[in-house]
Each structure stands twice: as C-alpha cells, then as structure tokens.
Amino acid sequence: MINLEVPAKAKPLINQAYQAASEVFRPISRKYDRAEHAYPKELDTFAALVDGLNESGEGGAGASGVRRDENGNGGGNVNGANLRTVLGTIEMCWGDVALLLSMPRQGLGNAAIASVANDEQLERFKGTWSAMAITEPEFGSDSAAVSTTAELDGDEYVLNGEKIFVTAGERADSVVVWATLDKSVGRAAIKSFVVEKSRPGITVERLEHKLGIKASDTAVIRLDNCRVPKENLLGSPEIDTKKGFAGVMETFDNTRPLVAAMAVGLARAALEETARILSEAGIDVDYDKPANSQHAAAATYLQLEADYEAAHMLTLAAAWMADNRKPNSVEASMSKAKAGRSVVDITLKCVELCGTLGYSEDSLLEKWSRDSKILDIFEGTQQIQQLIVARRLLGKSSSELK
C-alpha cells in the first residue's frame, strides 16, 4: 500500500527548501525574468549549500537517480531519496522554476548520470554540472528518432550531430548526449554519453529566446567529430535488440516525476497568490459550503485546487514507487501528464480570476503562466505521456500503437 504521508524526517528538508525559495528565489525572480540569459550569481552560494546537503544524504533539491540492478529492480537508493527530491523540488519551484533549472550541478544530465552510471563513473563525474541533450532538429518527443551518431574508433567514440533545446547547455560543464551506435538497428543502438564541454568538437551554436523560464539558458549544441573515451558511455555498450533502448529510457522514470514536481510547486504558488488577491477583493473560499452556493470565483478556485491535489498525489506516488523498488514508468508518465496539463490550466485560470492584477507585472502570476507551458512540453510532451500510458495499459508495442 502506498503511504503518501510526508515522512517526519523529510519535514526539515521541506522547511529548508521553502526558506530558500522564499528568501533566495522569489526576491530575484522578476529580475532574471527580465534579464534573459544573465547568470544568477546569487545561486552560487546557495548551490554550495545544496551540495553539502546532498553529500550528507539530506539532499532534496538536487538531481538524484533511480538506481536499478541488472534485473531492473531498484537498488542503491537511499531510503526515501526520490521522495525527498520531489518534495524539495516542489518547494523550490514554488519560488521559481527557471532558477532551480539554473542551479549548478543540478541539471537533468546529472539525474541521468545518477540513474545509469556505474560506480566508477559516479565517482569520476562527481561534481560535474551536466545538461541533457536528446532533441534534434528532425524530431521532438520521439526519442527513438535520434540521428546523432557515435562511432567507435579505438578507445574513443566519435560523435557527430546537432542537439536543440538543451537546458543549461551553455553553463553546464558537461552534456549527456543521446546518440546511436548503428542507425540500421533502430532504437536498440541508442546510448547516452557524457561529453565534457572542454573537448574539441563540441560547440554551443546559440541560445534560444523563450516565452518563459528566461533565467534558464536553452542552447543549440553541435558535435563535429567530437571524441570521447569509451568509458564515457553510460550503461552497457552492447546492442541488445530484445531490450531495445529500455536502459537509456530508465532515466525518464526519474526525471519525469521531477518535472511533475516542478509543475506542482508552480501551481501551488499560483493558487496561493490567487487566494490572497481574491481575499483582498472580499472573496473568501469556504471549504464548509458547497461550491455552487459560493461566489463563482470561489467555486472555480475549488475546482483548480482539486486538480492540483490530483497532480500532487500522482507525483508523490511515482517517487514513492521508485524508492520502494517498484517499476514506476507508467506512474512517472501519469504524473508528468497530469501535472503538466494541470499547471497550464491552473496558472491561466488564475490570471483570469485576478483580472488586471493577473495580467500585469504587479504580480508574478503572468510570469508563472508563461513559465508553466514548458512543463507540459519538455521531458516528453503531454501527447507522448498519454501514448506511453495507453501502450502500457493496453499491452501494445510502439509499433502497434503510434
């Protein structure tokens, strides 16, 4: 049975993350929304604190991983590590999503390393700030369409290709690049490689101008005969057509609940701000009265809050399952799909409910509505998540249900 009560030992972490979000992120949120691509220097000291928490085993805002043994069973996770990370992420994104994505050494590539790397790689890449490079100009959410190549030449792989929408692509020290060892084999040949930015052949072509999460840099990266040691391949170098690229996809079992947690934190921020503005306007939400007997704005707020609670519970469930060595791929996609859709609906409706205050820069509501959309897109779009869930529930393969 899943127990979604917040563990007592996680409450100090939640309080610390909330204080950081309130005292560090919120005060500079609008500043770096306006100063797109400027690095938030205020994060350096805070990132060092998070590193210390992770080293002590008390982390929760960083990039932890879903460790599995060769049979696919969980193993090596600190008890409750994924749930603590999700809870910390919720609090931090209550402060600002883009600033969390801008924190050193907390990139999505770090989650990939934590999930897939062997013990030697974990030690060797310890302390790196790693971005994740999957998407290419020719495809969006279909990860199996990767065309970046990796050819073995002696003791090195030679990588060639172009990656787009790489979060923290300019600031990170390294990039986890998805590439194929053999295009003719299909998805089974797709592997991930840690590519240090200092290596010849990897270049940042440009930074994107975006609708939201402006404090976070989003880069286009080109690989031109970039050579990396074969030891930088994460996971097994063997091409197993029976397993497909399930191994590399296990990364998403960890990162999708994290993105869902980002959405949950942002949705909560919007709901709290909306409740404050409505209360100042004389509209209070009464939980002891039926919705249809209250002000229309209060009734709408109750609907939004119910949507938020559903997303919250699904996200906690996905993390709990990872911590308890249960396969969580379906739940990870469910949480990402629900939270991604809910945060967009909630933030836009909050803007509407608050009228001119919601649409102006007097409040952060308009910023949150812009930030929210990416949470429904990256790490697999809404449509992809629904497709994954449908395949699992119906017992269909990717070729049977497209």
Average pLDDT of span 251-275: 93
The yes-or-no verdict on residue 30 having pLDDT over 50 is yes
Query: Which tops the pLDDT comparison, 82 or 22?
Result: 22
Residues 6+ apart with CB under 8 A from 359: 351, 365, 366
Q: Which of 44-58, 146-160, 215-229, 360-374 is predicted with the least confidence, judged by mean pLDDT?
A: 44-58
Which residues carry out catalysis? 379
The yes-or-no verdict on residue 292 having pLDDT over 80 is yes
The yes-or-no verdict on residue 79 having pLDDT over 80 is no
The yes-or-no verdict on residue 122 having pLDDT over 80 is yes
CATH numbers and ranges of domains, the chain: 8-124 (1.10.540.10), 130-234 (2.40.110.10), 246-394 (1.20.140.10)
Strongest mean pLDDT among 36-50, 55-69, 198-212: 198-212
User: Considering the chain, what is the average pLDDT of its residues?
Assistant: 89
Kindly report, residue by residue over 188-214, the tens digit of the pLDDT: 899 999 999 999 999 999 999 999 999
Position 155: which residue type?
D
Indicate whether this model's pTM tops 0.75: yes
Residue 76's pLDDT is 45
* Secondary structure class of 56 (helix, strand, coil): coil
Cα 250 from Cα 232, distance rounded (Å)? 18
pLDDT band at 51 (very low <50, low <70, confident <90, very high): low
Q: Which of 65-79, 348-362, 365-379 is predicted with the least confidence, judged by mean pLDDT?
A: 65-79
Residue 72's pLDDT is 47
Residues 6+ apart with CB under 8 A from 110: 62, 63, 128, 129, 130
Query: Which tops the pLDDT comparison, 149 or 247?
Result: 149
Average pLDDT of span 32-49: 89
Could you give the count of Cα atoms lying within 13 Å of 72 in the half-sphere of its Cβ?
A: 11
Backbone angles phi, psi at 276, to 5 degrees: -65, -45
Cα 76 from Cα 14, distance rounded (Å)? 23
Residue 157's pLDDT is 98
* Secondary structure class of 240 (helix, strand, coil): coil
Average pLDDT of span 8-37: 93
Torsion of CA 152, 250, 73, 239, to 10 degrees: -30
Cα 239 from Cα 228, distance rounded (Å)? 19
Distances (CA, A) of 62 to 90, 100, 104, 108: 12, 9, 10, 10
Cβ(77)–Cβ(199) below 8 Å: no
Residue 235's pLDDT is 85
